[in-house]
């Protein structure tokens, strides 16, 4: 197993103040029943041996208060003497003298629990009843954090988990929206969740959940991502130079992992927000050999939206279901998820609708075979998109797509200093588009087609002592469409070197390939244009330094360069996807520097400062010019503070300089490029957690853009020569309740 091969680091922090257990270990231990010291005087008579005290048992189950997760490895002390730990089920069973005792339970991240316990005779029938002890999660102060870190030495990434992905101010509690506060990410127009990573197009970034590619990440308008936030455990963000096991995107990768459902009992959570409501239910089955989790969400945005906007209806829903069970030396997992969006406009000439829907079913087996870790999986899916909104598409269009994507991976150590990872993945897609305009069938996007893409990869990871890690990799992707086949070799190299202390120098280089894509991913409209556009490619390089400043801060500074060949929108204003010259192959480059200063979430005051200085350019009409995504400076300061009694507050300050925007003269004969005004915002969030014995309740209020900064989206020159800046000035509130059982 990979986790076993890599250095496992237990980052349980030593408490600043010795715990009772430590004090007990450091000080002389008084005997429970001290034997009197030998009297130097001769004994008048031989003493009788003391009568043995009757023995009894104490049985207990230790769970987290509220969510009732069984806590494994809780330190159990009886009368200040260490007496054992809870087992894998969270239970302990200790034999001790009958009578009164003091029981002390301690576990990192929880307040110690000390209770009096009377131990009586062990009953003949049924034994000693089991008591349940509830440890209160520490809601304030420094948190202990026990994290087994298996550092992925291949690629620089930013990992977010826990509260960072659900409580980051400005993200509406949406894990995927958190990336907009990370270095290298340019948000095209706030608050739309469209992100350009390191100067590439938004459609060049892949979003992957448990190895399954998402055809669309966010619901319409200001909708959340299509995966329930509490279904996710961790998000890894690779702004570039991602590992060879991922492919077919030329920019970054956002890879999310879902939570493994607990196998101890039924867990449930529910949440309600201003815009939607959802929930998760997870239950063990087959005596804990497996578990099933189901999540869903329904939006009543349509109801609210329709009341505010009489001629429009908006709605969405999504679902996720995950089940796993042991099978042989591993585990089989089925993961199904899907999403639906609908926007309807009731116009004078009828009801016009835009609809998007997708479904995925992934079957996966992970296990240990032949000394390595094996993953074999296949995912099938169906996508549908349809739109009859003339202002968007110029004509009614719809598209259906089916896909089947198998994948397999194998990770194995070859020596104590060398690991190897190899795998293959592929995807076959069938598209059935339809339009009411016969001439658009001349375009590949509107032609019925089958697209095959597949790749294989091999990555070696060599470690020279504890100072140097070199990870060369090679990936080859093949793209097949309309009888045309293109092979793309994609070599990768990552080097990390530690000159001393907690300082790592790092560098990555690699080549990446992708089929032509729309600027924003739309289910059913992908896998096209291999003949007309070829493939999109990028040549990426980055280097930087990571410095750990004790347990309190880490600093990561990275410089990057990307040489791009991609399918750009020929015009920013082109919204008609039936236009035959909608896209254009352009060369481009982007470069810049990223800085991330981070204070871990285990501290009362935690968060990060992310700054990006970047240039994004395209070769347009023979001229190297700033791209539509070119934002020179992007700054995010994210901070949260945990107060006592479950209160916490956070804020995010965002600032970005404007991107270029074409401004026409009054006769629309000439265009001048101006920068959209700088944008800044202050987002605030407050949380209060109530911990009850059998459930927890979180209540939060989030206000995004409290500065009421106006987001400019369009600039025009009026007939009198002045500039007319169109935009909006809104505060987005979010009030929610989240409960877990």
Judged by the rule CB under 8 A, the positions of this chain that interact with other proteins are: 349, 390, 394-395, 436-440, 464-465, 467-468, 470, 493, 495, 497, 499, 505-509, 539-543, 559, 561, 563, 570-576, 578-581, 587-589, 591, 617, 619-626, 662, 664-666, 668-671, 673, 717, 719-722
For other proteins, the closer of residues 203 and 338 by Cβ is 203
CA distance linking residue 213 with residue 337, whole number of Å? 12
For other proteins, the closer of residues 263 and 616 by Cβ is 616
Distance of CA 281 to the CA centre of its chain: 20
* Least Å from the CB of residue 463 to other proteins: 12
* Least Å from the CB of residue 632 to other proteins: 15
Q: Which two tokens stand for residue 86?
A: 């809870």
* Least Å from the CB of residue 198 to other proteins: 12
Buried b (16+ CB within 10 A) or exposed e, 304-318: ebbeeeeebbbbbbb
CA distance linking residue 479 with residue 440, whole number of Å? 23
Asked whether the beta carbons of 393 and 518 are under 8 A apart, the reply is no
* Least Å from the CB of residue 725 to other proteins: 16
Residues pairing with 609 in the sheet = 597, 637
For other proteins, the closer of residues 428 and 619 by Cβ is 619
For other proteins, the closer of residues 146 and 666 by Cβ is 666
377: Cβ contacts below 8 Å, ≥ 6 apart: 211, 362, 363, 364, 365, 406, 407, 408
CA distance linking residue 29 with residue 665, whole number of Å? 88
* Least Å from the CB of residue 346 to other proteins: 14
Q: Which two tokens stand for residue 136?
A: 């209160």
For other proteins, the closer of residues 42 and 622 by Cβ is 622
For other proteins, the closer of residues 590 and 709 by Cβ is 590
Containing 3, the helix (H) or strand (E) segment is helix 2-5
For other proteins, the closer of residues 581 and 644 by Cβ is 581
* Least Å from the CB of residue 575 to other proteins: 8
* Least Å from the CB of residue 241 to other proteins: 9
* Least Å from the CB of residue 391 to other proteins: 9
Residue from 55, 56, 60, 52 nearest 77 by CA: 60
For other proteins, the closer of residues 302 and 472 by Cβ is 472
DSSP class of 516: B
CA distance linking residue 198 with residue 203, whole number of Å? 12
Total residues belonging to the chain: 741
- The DSSP-derived string for 88-140 is TTSEEEEEEESEEEEEEEE-TTB--EEEEEEE-BPPSSS-SPEEEEEEPBP-S
For other proteins, the closer of residues 128 and 625 by Cβ is 625
Long-range contacts (CB closer than 8 Å, 24 or more residues apart) made by 75-80: 75/21, 75/105, 75/106, 75/107, 76/103, 76/104, 76/105, 77/20, 77/21, 77/24, 77/103, 77/104, 77/105, 77/106, 78/102, 78/103, 78/104, 79/32, 80/20, 80/23, 80/24, 80/104
For other proteins, the closer of residues 468 and 737 by Cβ is 468
* Least Å from the CB of residue 513 to other proteins: 16
Across 348-502, the runs of DSSP E, i.e. the strands, are 350-369, 372-387, 397-415, 418-435, 449-464, 468-481, 484-500
Residue from 368, 396, 402 nearest 384 by CA: 402
* Least Å from the CB of residue 311 to other proteins: 15
* Least Å from the CB of residue 718 to other proteins: 9
For other proteins, the closer of residues 58 and 397 by Cβ is 397
For other proteins, the closer of residues 310 and 667 by Cβ is 667
* Least Å from the CB of residue 456 to other proteins: 23
* Least Å from the CB of residue 390 to other proteins: 7
Residues pairing with 662 in the sheet = 673
For other proteins, the closer of residues 579 and 725 by Cβ is 579
Angle at 479 between CA 205 and CA 197, to 5 degrees: 10
Q: Return the residue matching tokens 């894509």.
A: 517
Q: Return the residue matching tokens 């294989």.
A: 456
């Amino acid at each position: 197993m990979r986790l076993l091969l890599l250095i496992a680091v237990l980052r349980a922090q030593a408490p600043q103040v010795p715990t009772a257990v430590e004090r007990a270990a450091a000080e002389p231990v008084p005997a429970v029943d001290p034997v009197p010291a030998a009297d130097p005087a001769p004994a008048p008579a031989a003493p009788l041996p003391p009568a043995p005290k009757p023995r009894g048992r104490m049985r207990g189950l230790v769970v987290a208060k509220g969510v009732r997760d069984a806590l494994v490895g809780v330190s159990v002390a009886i009368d200040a003497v260490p007496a054992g730990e809870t087992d894998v089920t969270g239970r302990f069973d200790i034999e001790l003298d009958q009578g009164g005792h003091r029981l002390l339970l301690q576990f990192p991240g929880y307040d110690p629990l000390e209770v009096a316990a009377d131990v009586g005779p062990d009953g003949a029938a049924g034994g000693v009843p089991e008591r349940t002890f509830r440890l209160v999660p520490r809601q304030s102060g420094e948190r202990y954090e026990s994290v087994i870190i298996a550092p992925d030495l291949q690629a620089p990434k930013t990992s977010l988990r826990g509260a960072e992905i659900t409580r980051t101010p400005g993200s509406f509690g949406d894990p995927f929206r958190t990336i907009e506060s990370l270095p290298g990410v340019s948000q095209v127009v706030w608050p739309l969740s469209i992100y350009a990573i390191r100067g590439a197009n938004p459609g060049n970034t892949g979003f992957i959940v448990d190895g399954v590619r998402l055809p669309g990440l966010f619901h319409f308008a200001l909708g959340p991502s299509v995966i329930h936030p509490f279904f996710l455990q961790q998000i890894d963000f690779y702004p570039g130079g991602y590992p060879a096991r991922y492919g077919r995107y030329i920019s970054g990768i956002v890879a999310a992992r879902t939570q493994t459902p607990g196998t101890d009992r039924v867990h449930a959570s529910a949440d309600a927000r201003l815009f939607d409501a959802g929930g998760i239910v997870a239950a063990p089955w087959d005596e804990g050999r497996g578990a099933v989790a189901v999540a869903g969400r329904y939006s009543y945005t349509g109801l609210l939206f329709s009341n505010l906007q009489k001629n429009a209806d908006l709605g969405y829903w999504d679902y996720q279901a995950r089940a796993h069970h042991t099978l042989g030396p591993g585990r089989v997992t089925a993961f199904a998820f899907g999403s639906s969006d609908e926007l309807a406009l009731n116009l004078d000439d009828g009801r016009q609708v835009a609809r998007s829907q997708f479904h995925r079913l992934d079957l996966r087996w992970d296990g240990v075979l032949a000394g390595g870790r094996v993953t074999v999986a296949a995912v099938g899916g169906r996508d549908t998109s349809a739109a009859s909104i003339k202002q968007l598409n110029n004509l009614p269009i719809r598209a259906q797509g089916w896909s089947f994507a198998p994948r397999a991976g194998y990770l194995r150590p070859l020596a104590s200093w060398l690991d190897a990872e190899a795998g293959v993945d592929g995807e076959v897609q069938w598209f059935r588009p339809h339009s009411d305009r016969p001439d658009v069938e001349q375009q590949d996007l509107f032609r019925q087609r089958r697209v095959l893409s597949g790749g294989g990869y091999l990555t070696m990871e060599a470690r020279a002592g504890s100072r140097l890690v070199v990870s060369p990799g090679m990936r080859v992707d093949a793209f097949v469409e309309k009888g045309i086949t293109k092979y793309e070799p994609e070599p990768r190299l990552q080097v990390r070197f530690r000159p001393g202390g907690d300082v790592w120098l790092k560098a990555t280089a690699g080549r990446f390939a992708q089929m032509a894509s729309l600027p924003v991913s739309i289910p059913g409209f992908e896998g096209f244009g291999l003949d007309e556009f070829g493939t999109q490619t990028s040549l990426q390089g980055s280097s930087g330094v990571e410095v750990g400043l004790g347990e309190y801060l880490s600093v990561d500074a990275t410089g990057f360069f990307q040489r791009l060949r991609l399918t750009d929108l020929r015009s920013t204003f082109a919204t008609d996807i039936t236009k035959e010259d909608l896209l254009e192959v352009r060369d481009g480059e982007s470069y810049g520097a990223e800085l991330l200063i981070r204070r871990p979430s285990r501290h009362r005051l935690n968060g990060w400062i992310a700054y990006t200085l970047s240039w994004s350019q395209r070769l347009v009409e023979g001229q190297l010019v700033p791209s539509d995504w070119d934002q020179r400076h992007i700054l995010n300061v994210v901070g949260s503070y945990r107060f006592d009694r479950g209160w916490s507050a956070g804020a995010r300050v965002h600032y970005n300089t404007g991107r270029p925007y074409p401004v026409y003269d009054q006769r629309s004969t000439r265009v001048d490029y101006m920068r959209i005004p700088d944008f800044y915002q202050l987002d605030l969030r407050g949380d209060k957690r109530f911990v009850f014995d059998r459930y927890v309740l979180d209540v939060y209020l989030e206000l995004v853009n409290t500065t009421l900064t106006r987001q400019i989206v369009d600039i025009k020159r009026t007939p009198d020569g002045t500039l007319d800046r169109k935009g909006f000035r809104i505060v987005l509130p979010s009030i929610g309740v989240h409960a877990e059982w």
